[in-house]
């Protein structure tokens, strides 16, 4: 036993050394695709990998335009403890007669994409070959909301969650849970059935906050809504109690039980998730479903901004120095992307970018101050619509056309999922402030479009090329 431990230890050390050496020869770039749930992470990753693998023309991707990319391929899964990103399944879902967008992500997965290229430098050209591994991780967006919990203890979290739930628009959605909460005493002896009931009602409240039409974003803890393989685990049976942030908690009380489970949740779930996947990122793209939030109103927009600011403050952003290679790398390029830009006409894209800029202004200022390069773009990783002009009552409207999913409705007209429809989505305001104040509530008309069919094996996109160039372009060539 002792001996095999010794061998395993040696293997580990050799493996670590190998990793270090491998990183020296072929550098790996860890791309963090960050986004709350339903922001389009899975589609973005699938589209990015598909475009690079199939050599889809990306006009602004310099390395491709210069023709120095020799080969792009998927490497066998490097990390044996993580499932591989189901790229082929997601792609298959978007093909054929009953094509649909990929299901929402339920667990974490990883993919390694390798790019072989012709190196440009004199030395590199003669002694080396150009090869870059791009590691991409996909995970349920809900889990991202847990990151701010690392900096809070139970009492603090409890107090702040309860305070938010008592403000409109959440107060109406939390009635049931609040009623049960008032029957609980934090100082009473611990009772498992009460803890379970509280957790259930709290989860139901979170689910209601996320529902269509409300579209709130700040909903930690994320595993309550997307438990992954932890369904029913005792680590998920806790809920906030009505206590102040600086309460002394008595041993053996209900509050103590809740506190123990909260601490376990943070140390056993949140921290490993963060340190394994987010602590070593090189580049980050923050996908934001701005349009849905705008349509849901001012509360949703403000909540989205707050959630993103909280989440992004957990990442290490800034310039890399010689020492940071040893002490842990920083994220030195961050792209804020307003996804689903194909739902509005391209003349509105500048405005969409301006609105996103003001939503994430705090997070952006922080990253910029730390020295990271920042860009904002309205993108659609897969473009499901095309643009059309429709003349109605003598007025020319800039419309988008696509095939809406069956069951979608606009103003009483239903769609059957077969016929194409031209839709006027509405104009975004030129002043982003108006949008933040909720003037857009319900004024945007958009439906869910079916995924488009690939044309000659390639999907259309909006500014995916710009995103690729910004995120990985400087490391090729």
Partner 1 sequence: MPRSAIERSTPRRFKWASVLFSALLLLIALWAGNAALALIEDLFSRSIYFGYAAAAAASLAGLAAAAIILREIWGLIRLRRIEHIQSKAAHAINFDDKAAADEATANLRSLYAARADCAYGLKQLVSHDHEIIDPRNRMRLAERLLLSPLDDEAHRIVARAARRVTLLTTVTPAAALDILFVAAQNIRMLREIASLYGGRPSALSTWRLARLVIAHLAVAGGLALSDTLLQHLLGKGLLGRLSARFGEGAVNGILTARIGLAAKAVCRPVPLEGDARETLGSLMRELVSFEESKNVAESKSQS
Q: How far is CA 2 from each of CA 12, 15, 234, rounded to the nearest angstrom?
A: 15, 20, 35
Rule CB under 8 A: say whether 398 interacts with partner 1: no
> 28 or 338: whose CB is closer to partner 1?
338
Closest by alpha carbon to 448, among 477, 412, 410?
Answer: 410
Rule CB under 8 A: say whether 384 interacts with partner 1: no
Q: What are the structure tokens assigned to 408, written together?
A: 């979608």
Rule CB under 8 A: say whether 65 interacts with partner 1: yes
Please choose, out of 43-51, 56-64, 149-157, 419-427, the segment that lies near partner 1 by the rule CB under 8 A. 56-64
Q: What are the structure tokens assigned to 397, written together?
A: 């409207």
Q: What are the structure tokens assigned to 19, written together?
A: 């990793």
Which of helix, strand or coil describes residue 422? Answer: strand
Please choose, out of 18-26, 58-66, 87-95, 299-307, the segment that lies near partner 1 by the rule CB under 8 A. 58-66
> 11 or 57: whose CB is closer to partner 1?
57
CB of 460 to partner 1, least distance (A): 8
Which of helix, strand or coil describes residue 9? Answer: helix
CB of 163 to partner 1, least distance (A): 42
Q: Prior bond to 58 cis, omega within 30? A: no
CB of 461 to partner 1, least distance (A): 8
Q: What are the structure tokens assigned to 172, written together?
A: 């109406």
| Residue 283: strand pairing partners | 31, 333
> 386 or 475: whose CB is closer to partner 1?
386
Using CB under 8 A, pick the residue from 112, 170, 340, 349 that binds partner 1: 349
Rule CB under 8 A: say whether 346 interacts with partner 1: yes
Cα dihedral: 99, 103, 107, 113 (round 10): 30
> 186 or 382: whose CB is closer to partner 1?
382
Please choose, out of 18-26, 53-61, 148-156, 232-240, the segment that lies near partner 1 by the rule CB under 8 A. 53-61
Closest by alpha carbon to 43, among 277, 472, 340, 278?
Answer: 340
Q: What is the rounded distance in angstroms from the CA atom of residue 285 to the CA atom of residue 317?
A: 12
Residue 421 CB-density burial (10 A; 0-12 exposed, 13-18 middle, 19+ buried): middle
Rule CB under 8 A: say whether 329 interacts with partner 1: no
Please choose, out of 54-62, 94-102, 189-197, 202-210, the segment that lies near partner 1 by the rule CB under 8 A. 54-62
Q: Within 451-470, which residues bind partner 1 (CB under 8 A)?
A: 460, 462-463, 465-466
Binding site for partner 1 (CB under 8 A): 57, 59-60, 65, 346, 349, 386, 460, 462-463, 465-466
């Amino acid at each position: 036993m002792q001996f095999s431990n010794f061998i395993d230890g040696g293997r580990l050390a050799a493996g670590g050394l190998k990793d270090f050496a491998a990183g020296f020869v072929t550098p790996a770039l860890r791309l963090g695709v960050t986004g709350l749930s339903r922001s389009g992470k899975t589609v973005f990753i699938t589209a990015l990998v598909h475009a690079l693998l199939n050599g889809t023309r990306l006009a602004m991707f310099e390395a491709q335009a210069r023709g120095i990319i020799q080969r792009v391929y998927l490497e066998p899964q490097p990390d044996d403890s993580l499932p591989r990103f189901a790229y082929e399944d997601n792609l298959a879902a978007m093909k054929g007669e009953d094509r649909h967008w990929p299901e929402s992500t339920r667990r974490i997965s990883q993919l390694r994409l390798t790019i072989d290229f012709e190196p440009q430098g004199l030395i590199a050209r003669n002694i080396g070959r150009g090869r870059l591994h791009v590691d991409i991780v996909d995970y349920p967006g809900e889990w991202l909301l847990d990151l701010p919990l690392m900096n809070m203890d139970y009492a603090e979290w409890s107090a702040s969650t309860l305070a938010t739930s008592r403000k409109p628009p959440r107060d109406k959605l939390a009635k049931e849970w609040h009623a049960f909460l008032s029957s609980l005493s934090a100082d009473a002896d611990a009772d498992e059935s009460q803890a379970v009931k509280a957790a259930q009602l709290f989860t139901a409240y979170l689910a209601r906050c996320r529902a269509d039409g409300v579209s709130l974003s700040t909903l930690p803890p994320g595993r309550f809504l997307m438990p992954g393989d932890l369904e029913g685990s005792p680590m998920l049976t806790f809920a906030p109690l009505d206590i102040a942030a600086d309460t002394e908690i008595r041993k053996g009380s209900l509050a103590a039980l809740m506190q123990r489970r909260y601490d376990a949740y943070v140390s056993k779930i949140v921290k490993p998730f963060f340190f394994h996947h987010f602590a070593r990122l090189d580049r980050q793209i923050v996908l934001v479903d701005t349009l849905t939030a705008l349509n849901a109103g001012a509360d949703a927009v403000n909540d989205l901004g707050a959630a993103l600011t909280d989440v992004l403050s957990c990442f290490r952003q800034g310039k890399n120095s010689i020492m940071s290679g040893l002490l842990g790398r920083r994220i030195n390029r961050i792209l804020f992307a307003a996804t689903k830009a194909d739902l509005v006409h391209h003349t509105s894209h500048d405005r969409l970018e301006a609105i996103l800029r003001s939503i994430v202004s705090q997070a952006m200022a922080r990253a910029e101050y730390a020295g990271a390069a920042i860009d904002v773009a309205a993108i659609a990783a897969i473009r499901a619509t095309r643009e059309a002009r429709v003349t109605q009552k003598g007025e020319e409207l800039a419309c988008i056309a696509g095939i809406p999913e069956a069951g979608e409705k606009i103003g009483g007209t239903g769609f059957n999922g077969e016929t194409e429809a031209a839709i006027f989505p509405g104009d975004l305001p030129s002043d982003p402030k108006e949008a933040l104040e909720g003037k857009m509530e319900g004024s945007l008309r958009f439906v869910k479009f079916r995924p488009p069919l690939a044309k000659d094996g390639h999907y259309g996109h909006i500014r995916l090329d710009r995103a690729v160039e910004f995120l990985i372009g400087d490391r090729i060539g």
